[in-house]
Every structure is written in structure tokens, then in C-alpha cells.
Amino acid sequence: MAKTLTGDDIALERGGRTILSGLTFRAIAGTALLLTGPNGVGKTSLIRACAGLLPLSTGRIELAGGDPDMTIGEQSHYVGHLNAQKPALTVRENLAFWAGFLHHGGRSDGGIEDRVEVVLERFALAPLADIPFAYLSAGQKRRAALARLLAAPRPVWLLDEPTVALDVSMRDLCIAVVDEHLAAGGIVVAATHLPLPFRALEELRLGAVAEASS
Amino acid sequence: MRSLGAIVLRDLRLAMRDGGALGTALGFYLIVVAMMPLAVGPDLKLLARISAGVLWVALLLSALLSLGRLFESDYEDGSLDTIAVAGPPLELVVAGKAFVHWLTTSVPMALAAPVLGLLLNLELSVMPFLALSMLVGTLAVSFLGAIAAALTLQARKSGVLIAVMVLPLYVPTLIYGISAVAIATTPPGSPWPSFLLLSAISVGSVVIGPIASAAALRYQVQ
């Protein structure tokens, strides 16, 4: 059975204010779900709700075909606005940390170091690997943050503005990596303002939903 | 376990690379203790009597200095979001982080205490026991302190707030820590009952601290 991330009649609140209500969505394995819409419409909140960071006020989010013993968060990569990297550690050390930390639940092979090297190469980070994260440019930092998507295998990718600050070639690289994940039967939910031409995608315009329901 | 190892290793590495937290805590500890003989005068008997108390109070205050950073940097750079939902139970992660705080802050100070005790005319024979009781007692400092650090995560200038919240919780540790050393200094009587009670408080904190902190952190990352 293909994995599917479904949201059923979701409502979300931030600071006592309802920002999303009556939202139903489906993210099917192999097809990226793009969340678009104006600022403040709840794209980030929806992604955080999928990851399990933000409790739903009504409705539920389920991962069909996933591991029933694990939460969605434990089967997901969440890459938010912030890069989640330590400025004092090198790019390699940061990535190795996430590879080790996120291996929880996944298969634990001994080759984390090898995997880290492969991922560094893939994201063209090998020349930067021994530089402390603090000294990278904004685009390089973003790339280092995205690299953890491949550092540990997980079926669901929750991406919040993944390509912000990336140049054209690096944006293409990011899209290629996501396409591979989709081709391998992965689920992708991405919030974005920039066009992200994934191999297969479905768009969910959040503003339209909110207006239709009000 | 691999995840837990990863976070302990990362925090240890960060603590060593920054170094600032430990340096500040040790410096503060040294200064507070060194000011005491200047304040009360050169009465050696008096100094010996208050030495254990001064060392303990100064240690508690110094350990507080770095508590505010326990979760703050992870919160600021976004790591906490991923750590909170994508890894092993948050309680275990918090326990790992509190353990690293104990290892990098309290352990060096507990080991430095006998040396500082020389300034206060602390009896040589009780120095090993003082260090031992501090090593055990300060587990409560890190693990109870984690609760306050988690609760005040989004408060600006959380340092003083943490102190106000958590210092009352340290009172039992302080009482049994000092009474253990006091009894060891003035036999007869065995210091071990006090020491065991001190250990019991630490064990309780190690259990309660991570559960309460994790609950607070889950609320903070919403």
C-alpha cells in the first residue's frame, strides 16, 4: 500500500485565534503536496502540526501505511525556517549529529560516517565540511540544513520554504534530491512562495480554503 | 540509545568548544568563596565553622549561571523543534542534556571545592567527603534546574527568574549536604544518613526533572 499522509477536517489555533479550519488534505507517496498562499495563512502552522509540534484543535492527521508504533514526527524530517545547526560545530559535525540522532527507529547500520560523507558530497558541501557552520553564507547554511534529509532515511519530509536563499543550481539540486525521494515512494509536504517544479506535485492554496470556509 | 549518545556527545563538544560557561561558573565560584574571608575577618575558627556552608551556597549560585542556556541555544537555532518530536522520547533527551550540564558545570566545581576550602580553613580530613557529597548532591541542581530552564525558555532575561524559581527547591539538598559535612567534621556520629538522604533527593530529581522539563518544553515549542 502506498503511504499517504491525510489530514481530516483540521482546525489550528495560534494565540487563541483560529487560523485554519475545516481543512482536509492528502499527501500521497510519490506526489509532493505544495502549500501555497499569502503570508500568515497558516502554512508553517500546518507543517508544524503535521510534525506534531502544534496540537490540533479539531480533526486529525494520520499516516496510512506507516509504522503504527511510531508518531508521525518520528517518521518525518522537519526542516523549518531555522536551520537547526550549531554555529560552533563544523558542517560535518552538525550533519553527523543529526545522522546519529535521527537514526532512532530507522535501521541502525554502522556506516553513519560513510553516509555523512556521501551526503556531504551530494550537497556539494565536501569543500566546506571542516568549516564551522557560523562562517557559511545564508545559502550554504540552508544547504547544510537540507543535507540532513538524506543523513537518515525517513518516509515523510516536511519542508518549510526549503529553497529560500539557494541559488539556481543549488535549487535544482534540492529539487533533484526531493524528486529522488518521491520516486522512491516518499511523501513530501512543502510550504513555499517560490515555484518548486517537482516531478509530480499537487498544490493546496491555503488562502482559498480559508476564504471558501468563511 | 544511538540518538541519546549523539546528543550527549554534541553537548559535550559544544561545552568544550565554547568553554565560556564553565569558565564563568568556576570564576564566579572562586570569587564568591575568596570574598568570604575578607568579609568575616581572619578568625580561623569561625571560617572553619562556616566553610562547608559557604562552599555549598556558592556552588549552588554558580551552577545557576549556566542553567539558562540549557535549552535556550537549541530553541534559538531551531534544533529543539526536531529534537522534541523526531527523536527518542523527549524525557530521555532532557535527561541527557541535564547530565551533560552536571558533568561540565557541577563536577568541575565539586572537584575544585576542596582546593577553595583551603581559603576557608576547611579541615583536610573532610575534604574528600565534601567533594563526594557535592558530586552526588549537584545532580539535583542540574535536573531540578532543567525544569526552571524549560519553563522560562521564552522569557527574556530568564536568569533571575530561574534563580527565584529553583533556589527554594535546592534547600533540601543544601541542608543535607551541609549536615553531612558538619557531622563528618565533628565526630561522633555518622555522616552517612545525611549523605544517603542527599542521594535520595538527587535520585528523585533525576526522575522528576526530565519528566517535568519535557512537559514544559512540549508546550514551549508549540
Contact B86 A81 (CB under 8 A): no
CA–CA gap between residue B143 and residue B139 (Å, rounded): 6
Contact B14 A108 (CB under 8 A): no
Residue A76, chain B, CB below 8 Å: the answer is yes
Residue ranges of domains in chain A: 4-213
Please write the tens of the pLDDT for every residue from A154-213.
Answer: 999 999 998 888 899 999 999 999 999 999 999 999 998 888 888 888 888 887 655 544
Tally of residues, chain A: 214
| Three-state secondary structure call for residue A79 | strand
Q: Please say if the pLDDT value at position A111 is more than 80.
A: no
CA–CA gap between residue A57 and residue A53 (Å, rounded): 13
Instruction: Write out the DSSP string of A9-34.
Output: EEEEEETTEEEEEEEEEEEETTSEEE
pLDDT of residue A214: 42
CA–CA gap between residue B222 and residue B212 (Å, rounded): 16
**pLDDT band at B98; cut points 50, 70, 90:** very high
What is the mean pLDDT of the segment spanning B52-75? 90
pLDDT of residue B123: 86
ipTM of the complex: 0.86
Nearest to A192 by CA among A22, A41, A10: A41
CB atoms within 10 A of CB A175: 18
Residue A54, chain B, CB below 8 Å: the answer is yes
Q: Please say if the pLDDT value at position A1 is more than 70.
A: no
Nearest to B220 by CA among A82, A71, A56, A55: A55
CA–CA gap between residue A133 and residue A119 (Å, rounded): 16
Residue B92, chain A, CB below 8 Å: the answer is no
Q: Please say if the pLDDT value at position A104 is more than 90.
A: no
**Among B7, B82, B222, beta carbon nearest to A54:** B222
CA–CA gap between residue A18 and residue A167 (Å, rounded): 36
Residue A92, chain B, CB below 8 Å: the answer is no
CA–CA gap between residue A138 and residue A144 (Å, rounded): 10
Residue A134, chain B, CB below 8 Å: the answer is no
CATH 3.20.80.10 is held by the domain A4-213: no
Cβ proximity of B117 and B34 under 8 Å: no
Query: HEC states along chain B?
Result: CHHHHHHHHHHHHHHHHHCHHHHHHHHHHHHHHHHHHHHHCCCHHHHHHHHHHHHHHHHHHHHHHCCCHHHHHHHHCCHHHHHHHHCCCHHHHHHHHHHHHHHHHHHHHHHHHHHHHHHHCCCHHHHHHHHHHHHHHHHHHHHHHHHHHHHCCCCCCHHHHHHHHHCHHHHHHHHHHHHHHHHHHCCCCCCHHHHHHHHHHHHHHHHHHHHHHHHHHHHHCC
- Cα separations (Å) of B199 from A2, B102, B103, B182, B204? 53, 15, 17, 17, 9
Q: Write down the mean pLDDT value for chain B.
A: 90
Contact A103 B13 (CB under 8 A): no
Which residues in chain B are contacts of A89 at CB distance < 8 A?
10, 13-14, 17
CA–CA gap between residue A143 and residue A163 (Å, rounded): 9
- Cα separations (Å) of B184 from A57, A172, B49, B112, B193? 58, 70, 12, 19, 11
Q: Which residues contact B155 (CB under 8 A, 6 or more apart)?
A: B161
Contact A86 B78 (CB under 8 A): no
Q: Which structural domain, as residue segments, surrounds residue B33?
A: 2-220
The one-letter amino acid at B142 = S
Q: Write down the mean pLDDT value for chain A.
A: 87
Among the ranges given (A111-115, A131-135, A173-177), the one the predictor scored with the smallest mean pLDDT: A111-115
Residue B17, chain A, CB below 8 Å: the answer is yes
Number of domains in chain B: 1
Nearest to A71 by CA among A63, A83, A80, A79: A63
Residue B220, chain A, CB below 8 Å: the answer is no
CA–CA gap between residue B183 and residue B195 (Å, rounded): 10
Q: Which residue of A has its CA nearest to B222?
A: A54
pLDDT of residue A194: 86
- Cα separations (Å) of B8 from A142, A176, B14? 25, 34, 10
pLDDT of residue A50: 92
What is the mean pLDDT of the segment spanning A94-106? 81
First-last CA distance in chain B: 26
The H or E element containing residue A168 is helix A168-183
Name the DSSP class of A134: G
Mutate to test the interface with B, among A71, A77, A86, A103 (most CBs of B within 10 A): A86
**Among A51, A83, A89, beta carbon nearest to B85:** A51
Q: Please say if the pLDDT value at position B55 is more than 90.
A: yes
